[in-house]
Structure 1
């Protein structure tokens, strides 16, 4: 079966966690917590196994801790489970000193007998890098985000020096390594829980029945209805003010805005642009915004007969009216993209410019031998994202823009992208409308996972593109900690992208979140992750 056929048929669920109290049947969740409404369905509770979505964006930061976290103002790594760290002079060894007050959660399926220590850090990362590790192949053995970063090729070993000191040994210097450990994917699991599951013969439960050290633990999950998290009283940074969080993942009612207005939701993640004025004009709600480290782009399969021609890719870029896109899809809230890096990135190329010139596009089509055009499929995930509030509308605009230069676009709408299935038959692809929300503030996080040669094999390089010169520049950029030198290397890498055009950058979006005015302590991160450890209700 083709990749497209499998995409249309594929559906995955994870184990049902039975519970007796429906959080939407009364005011229980609202009296003791709040209800969060956002798009997406989890297919695992382990973010290591995902490439984004609800698990990485809204669940991971509640259930799990990492060694480090990112300061939302400076984008620099700051302590979390690791209180301090040292880096060797050659940049190949990182030693972390762990806090001794962190405890794992007590759940219905496991009671821990010790706190977080170096053994848990070793377990969590050895699972990713060691093919012989007993948990490496559990739940499929795919770790897409880490694979796109060549994490296994970077980390040679993880060693517990004592109970609260752990060392990472790298194969090469990488100045973005601390930022990598700060992402919502780099979570710490309980090695004690893993050993318990092995003795029971149920190792996959580590991903469906999580045990973390975060501010909330998983209490109930009913697919396509709700997820309930409850307060971890032993949290090292102090117990959260809220007793519970209920995630509404259903399609109940008449829509997400209606749920907010009728108090079925306390928090609405990523309201669509057309809803913003309604929310702003209602004193019962607060509309927060955060300029996002994100980009929406069109990935072009460079092995496609027509899209393999550089002139065709250039023509597609010239034919897309980004100003019209910003007005009709983003309602004036976004920014036209001149490249993959957003303006807030320190490696942004402010001299880059993308023109709108349909006549020149026609000439390039003729030069490429496609004077009479061609037909191509465009895969469109329908779930709104911070980088693209209305993917279908964006796809229809692209379809309308490309028709005058002879390109007939067939829109293939999917709920979301399954990158593993796309990877398996990537040569069959045409165009994919997609995007990216950075996991940290380092430019490498935009360029390597999406466009490196290694990323072709992880399903994230949807352009099916590999350029050794591009890889050489981004590899050199992570081998030095001199900022100006790094920026020059990233500028050269971006020039290659502008010249070869495997992707068409479209826009940078603004992340919006609406909440009931009674809730305090909800903040937005430019990286999309959310922590609810400090949320409280004023009335």
Structure 2
């Protein structure tokens, strides 16, 4: 199945090489000799397969939007350094009281919204209150499980009550306040359709919003008033984010100088990028994993034996080798292998084993019919549709491999490809959820709290896609965030991962090694597990190459 795809890509790249590429070759020595005052200016073009439907910190559900909020358009109270330790951002400092029931942030007094209004503690309180309002539809409600009432003590002091719990600062890295003077008076239920998220976002971060072309591009420009203590004005004049659904087109744009930073190229392009002196290939161990979520609101997926069997019937190591070219590792839970909580033994009984999968399905009442398709006692065939997003060839390939593997054990899986925003609406809207299974990715936060994914009480909230419910898992989900001591928490983390592996609400396919391609002209692009956009304000372009990229192609 892979051969036609690889052959077509190879032909396309041969044709591209035959036509001749343009652009500088990588010269790290030349970059090292450019003084800081000459690093200002130019437009960088960033590409990825999907549009960003909504950038509002209160309503967006897209991972790229979260990156834009943290590193480009807005400013959380704190950030993580390269060692994942908290450092000041909007907040200059913070402290907790003796019994860890009060967390106080002291904000900077030199941060302004991009319309000139100063950012204050009143903005932070307003944003927090709106995020906690269930009518807003804020997707990460588990952020606030251990937090209570908040107050703006004065213009630059924000105080919040909390229960003592582990990693209590992490939500404040991921959540960015919004401007009260823009959104105050808007009903919480109307925030999702407010133009703030799609047509006129107003932030306070290192870059300002300029324009958006639906399904095509977002443009941001440098904020000249960004605080000097936080680095001051960004080096780049502008960043253009382009949505390019076709990976082959993205690669062509990178190699011909029309894209500077290609986020997450498929692994089959890695060798081509690495071999071209005009571009660089980089990678890092990511917090993201890919999964197939089984909608347990459907009777077909109610039985955990069925879900386990489906996992055992899919050759996940073959997917990693054949689709990712080895840039990944099999996953069996939401915990990345480089986290201290990781349990390598969780799911060790879920290895690829079609015969064991057939036995489990037979135990659950599914036996072969005359046509070889499994049927239950009522004669219903084991047939369903998996939903995934367009423009992602990796997921399309995974779906086809899973389809073939499942067919071998008598399961008929159909594949439906959907536009990204449309798919998110179908799976995130609790009143819809009109799907059987979904093939999608997820990014684990630094502070793992899976209540939004798996808690029984979250079944009517955006990220509880599959309707999974297990009171024993709920108990662990409720207790784990409260345990501050890691040695005491580790046995419970192991128990949690083994329960999830046993129940298989998802088939966890892999944790990925995330790739990137960058042009020779752009410097200091060093993403890591914090995100693809980390350090965007320090990206810069070689002075003699600032006219080469062509962001206007986003309009075509």
Query: Separation in 1 of the partners of 2:97 and 2:525?
Result: 38
> Contact conserved, 1:419 with 1:460, CA < 8 A, in 2?
no
Larger deviation, residues 460-469 vs 301-310 = 301-310
Give, in angstroms, the shift of residue 89 of structure 1: 3.5
Q: Which one is further off, 401-410 or 206-215? A: 206-215
Matched, 1:526 2:521: no
Deviation at 1:419, TM superposition (A): 4.0
SS at match of 1:435: strand
Preserved contact between residue 426 and residue 433 of structure 2 (Cα < 8 Å): no
Aligned to 1:80: 89
Aligned to 2:496: 493
**What is the 5 A alignment of 1:95-114?**
95-105=104-114, 111-113=115-117
Deviation at 1:130, TM superposition (A): 4.1
SS in 2 for 1:443: coil
**Match 2:217 to one of 226, 247, 251:** 226
Who is 2:409 aligned against? 405
Rounded Cα–Cα distance in structure 2 between residues aligned with 1:308 and 1:334: 30
Change (3 A) 1:474 1:526: same
Are 1:71 and 1:77, in contact at CA under 8 Å, matched by a contact in 2? yes
Separation (CA, whole Å) in 2 of partners of 1:519 and 1:332: 28
Shift of 1:464: 1.0
Q: CA deviation at 1:293?
A: 1.0
2:52 and 2:62 in contact (8 A); partners too: no
Cα separation, partners in 2 of 1:463 and 1:537, compared to 1, 3 Å: same
- Between the aligned partners of 1:437 and 1:280, the Cα distance in structure 2 is 26
Q: Quote the offset at 1:177 in angstroms.
A: 3.0
Aligned CA RMSD, in angstroms, stands at: 2.5
1:158 aligned to 2:166? Answer: no
Q: Deviations over 1:260-294 (max 9, x none)?
A: 11111111111111111111001111111111012
Alignment equivalent of 2:65, drawn from 41, 55, 59: 55
Q: List per-residue Cα deviations over 1:113-134 (Å, max 9, x = no partner).
A: 4x22211211221222246xxx
- The CA distance in 2 between the partners of 1:218 and 1:334, in whole Å, is 35
The separation in 1 between residues aligned to 2:460 and 2:400, in whole angstroms, is 30
Measured in 2, the distance between the counterparts of 1:403 and 1:252 equals 28
CA offset at residue 68 of structure 1?
1.1
* Structure 2 SS opposite 1:303: coil
Aligned counterparts of 1:196 and 1:319: Cα–Cα separation in 2: 53
Partner in structure 2 of residue 358 of structure 1: 354
Of 281, 291, 294, 1:297 maps to 291
Match in the other structure for 2:310: 316
Deviations along 1:374-413, one digit per CA (max 9) or x if unpaired, are: 11111122344xxxx7001001111111112111101111
SS of equivalent residue, structure 2 residue 273: helix
2:31 is matched with: none
CA contact (8 A) 1:334 1:509 kept: yes
Matched, 1:379 2:387: yes
Deviation, 1:83, is 1.7
Structure 1 contact 293–345 (Cα < 8 Å) conserved: no
| Equivalent position of 1:182 in the other structure | 173
Structure 1 CA distance for aligned equivalents of residues 245 and 500 of structure 2: 40
* Correspondence 1:329-478 to 2 at 5 A: 329-352=323-346, 353=348, 354-372=350-368, 373=374, 374-384=382-392, 390-416=394-420, 418-422=423-427, 423-424=429-430, 428-438=434-444, 440-444=445-449, 447-478=450-481
Q: Match for residue 262 of structure 1?
A: 256
Q: TM-score if structure 2 supplies the norm length?
A: 0.81
Partner-residue secondary structure (3-state), 1:478: helix
Once the two structures are overlaid, the 10-residue window that deviates more, 215-224 or 521-530, is 521-530
Distance 1:227 1:499, change over 3 A: closer
Aligned 1:238-253 pairs, distance under 5 A: 238-249=232-243
Partner Cα separation in structure 2 for residue 304 and residue 426 of structure 1: 13
**How far does the alpha carbon of each residue in 1:306-359 deviate from its partner, in whole angstroms, 9 at most, with x for none?**
321222112111111111111111111111113331211111002231311111
1:143 to 138, 146, 170: 138
Given the two structures, how large is their TM-score scaled by the length of structure 1? Answer: 0.83
CA pair 59-34 structure 1, distance change in 2 beyond 3 A: farther
Gaps of 5+ in 1: 1-29, 106-110, 132-136
